[in-house]
A and B are shown apart, each in its own frame.
Chain A
Amino acid sequence: DVKVTQSSRYLVKRTGEKVFLECVQDMDHENMFWYRQDPGLGLRLIYFSYDVKMKEKGDIPEGYSVSREKKERFSLILESASTNQTSMYLCASSVLLGRGFQPYEQYFGPGTRLTVT
């Protein structure tokens, strides 16, 4: 079974703190993604990565950065947390096409509920 784990299920941070959200997948997937989910807004892509040390901006990258030093690990960084970054953060991974998995299927972690006060 594909497993995507996220470092914390619940996190409470103060405004201005630097926040690290860690994601690890165990299926040797090339692609990794960070989303945030907010009521009425669905899943919005923050950043994604197709390979180690590669990153691409998604739809809402402002206020975030990412790091992918190893294939299995993708970190999301909030440089200076703000209250409007209170949200559910979801990490996902997927394979390049042709590797036998369901095409385009992304496997999600359980999510981190971040509250910034």
Chain B
Amino acid sequence: DQQVKQNSPSLSVQEGRISILNCDYTNSMFDYFLWYKKYPAEGPTFLISISSIKDKNEDGRFTVFLNKSAKHLSLHIVPSQPGDSAVYFCAASASGGSQGNLIFGKGTKLSVKP
């Protein structure tokens, strides 16, 4: 059973508008969440993270929101740029679990159109 779910395989957004990528999780032991970005033929790169003691973390154009009661997090990109077109993976970890392991969602492919 998937513990981290990204239910939208793809998202298309106009340049300059907001991109919202969603992620749901089922394991209440998860206490740290990360977003990775992946271009074709490259390895994923870390984008932004959030601890479960927070509900928001911001870094430039990227903001991650965490709703623990709903077991839901989202990544907002404002404004979206064509260079943001990539696959975005949500990942989660439990500090009491296997040390350092991340559980990844299946990814959402974002296309930002000029």
Question: Interface code B40-58, partner A: CB below 8 Å = 1, 0 otherwise?
Answer: 0111111001010000000
Bound together, the chains give a CA A90 to CA B39 distance in angstroms of 13
| Contact, CB under 8 Å: B43 / A104 | no
The residues in B between 68 and 112 inclusive whose CB is less than 8 angstroms from any CB of A are: 89, 91, 93, 95, 98-102, 104-107
Q: Name the segment of A35-43, A62-70, A71-79 touching the other chain.
A: A35-43
Question: Which of B43, B49, B93 sits near A109, CB closer than 8 Å?
Answer: B43
Is B9 an interface residue, CB under 8 A from the partner? yes
A107–B34 Cα distance when bound, in Å, is 12
CB within 8 A of A104: which of B42, B49, B107? B49
The total of interchain contacts (Cβ-Cβ below 8 angstroms) comes to 70
- Chain B interface: which size bin? 20 to 34
B42 → chain A closest CB, angstroms:
6
Contact at A43–B44, with CB atoms within 8 Å?
yes
Instruction: Provide 20 A-B residue pairs closer than 8 Å at the C-beta atoms, listed in order of the A residue.
Output: A31-B99, A40-B9, A42-B89, A42-B104, A43-B44, A44-B104, A45-B101, A50-B99, A92-B43, A95-B100, A96-B99, A103-B49, A103-B51, A104-B32, A104-B93, A104-B102, A105-B46, A107-B46, A108-B45, A110-B41
Interface of B toward A, CB cutoff 8 Å: 6, 9, 32, 34, 36, 41-46, 49, 51, 89, 91, 93, 95, 98-102, 104-107
